[in-house]
Amino acid sequence: MPSLDTARRRLRLSDAHISVLGVLVEEDRLPDELSQARDELREAGLLDGDDKIVADLYPLVSTLMAPRVIVRVEVTGPQGVTSNGAVIGDEFIFVHEAWPGSTESEYVPAEPETLVWSLARMVDLHRDFTDEADGSEVIASSMGLFDKVVERMEAGEFEEPEAVAEATGAPLRLSETLAQLNCMWRMTVVWQGAQGKRDPGGLSVAALSVWDCGLEGYWLRELPAEPVGDGQVDANSELRVRRTSAKELWRLITALLPDGAQLATAQAQTS
């Protein structure tokens, strides 16, 4: 069920609830499949008797309806995939985090100074001995061999990296590293602007993909290079990952976000 914590301005909402709020703002007809989500918003007191959105939702709804920057954080782990991220508007910033197996996410207001910290927390970026990592160590293979190793690891062979490497033909270091895999995460930032790579919709986009491999540390995927679009990667695509540290990943997360000049350009283009 959706809910609001007025003391901390936190909200719990599902994608369906967000869709209902968008339809109501646009004053469109609500599809039948969203009727239950609307009823849940009514029951939670987030819609009044006339289906008007309560004032406490204004900061979030206004930000979602006119975002300047969208950050998507996809975390893939043993419990599946969770979608998290942040939405930056003209007046407000909200970060949102999902819980494995739940349809709802928690939306929390953030300040510009805490945004990188919030994004780092979403991927459990932490300081440990990997900060001493040899940043020159590289593993090169192919996406096809990567898939074969992961398949065997998921089948319970993670304690036998040498056997997995021999059976698949993958590099031993690839098997050893993936045997310690905690999760993989991908962070993508999208905004309107002239700098950076462009997606099919003409938006600027920047991204990075990382493996969190526990005792084997953090690994930055350099190939296939992010951002990766649908259909751009197959079994023959080259795979290259480089050992990295939490300190470098903090810097890379910071660099993903568009600077003030880029946002100023974006604002001028939409004015």
Give the mean model confidence (pLDDT) for residues 69-73: 97
Identify the three-state secondary structure at position 233: coil
Q: Is the pLDDT of residue 175 over 50?
A: yes
Give the mean model confidence (pLDDT) for residues 88-103: 94
Beta-strand runs (E) in 124-164 = 138-142
pLDDT of residue 57: 93
Q: Is the pLDDT of residue 266 over 50?
A: no
Give the mean model confidence (pLDDT) for residues 162-174: 95
| Mean of pLDDT over the chain | 90
pLDDT of residue 132: 59
pLDDT band for position 268 (50/70/90)? very low
Identify the three-state secondary structure at position 31: coil
55-61 own/partner pairs: CB under 8 Å, 24+ apart: 56/4, 56/6, 56/9, 57/4, 57/11, 57/21, 59/9, 59/91, 59/92, 59/94, 59/109, 60/11, 60/92, 60/94, 60/107, 61/21, 61/25
Q: Is the pLDDT of residue 216 over 80?
A: yes
| Nearest CA among 106, 79, 103, 104 for reference residue 95 | 106
pLDDT of residue 229: 84
Return the top range by mean pLDDT from 95-104, 129-138, 257-266: 95-104
pLDDT of residue 231: 85
pLDDT of residue 194: 61
Q: Is the pLDDT of residue 267 over 50?
A: no
Prior bond to 224 cis, omega within 30?
yes
- Say what the pTM is: 0.90
Cα 222 to Cα 47: distance, rounded to the nearest angstrom: 46
Q: Contact, 246 vs 254, CB < 8 A?
A: no
Q: Is the pLDDT of residue 261 over 60?
A: no
Return the top range by mean pLDDT from 7-21, 125-139, 183-197: 7-21
Give the mean model confidence (pLDDT) for residues 38-56: 93
pLDDT of residue 259: 79
pLDDT of residue 14: 96
Cα 74 to Cα 81: distance, rounded to the nearest angstrom: 7
Cα separations (Å) of 4 from 100, 122, 243?
A: 20, 21, 42
Cα 183 to Cα 153: distance, rounded to the nearest angstrom: 13
Q: What are the tokens at 186? A: 């991908």
pLDDT band for position 129 (50/70/90)? low
pLDDT band for position 133 (50/70/90)? low
Q: What are the tokens at 138? A: 């590289």
- Distant-in-sequence, close-in-space partners of 75: CB < 8 Å, separation ≥ 6: 81, 82, 84, 122, 123, 183, 184, 185
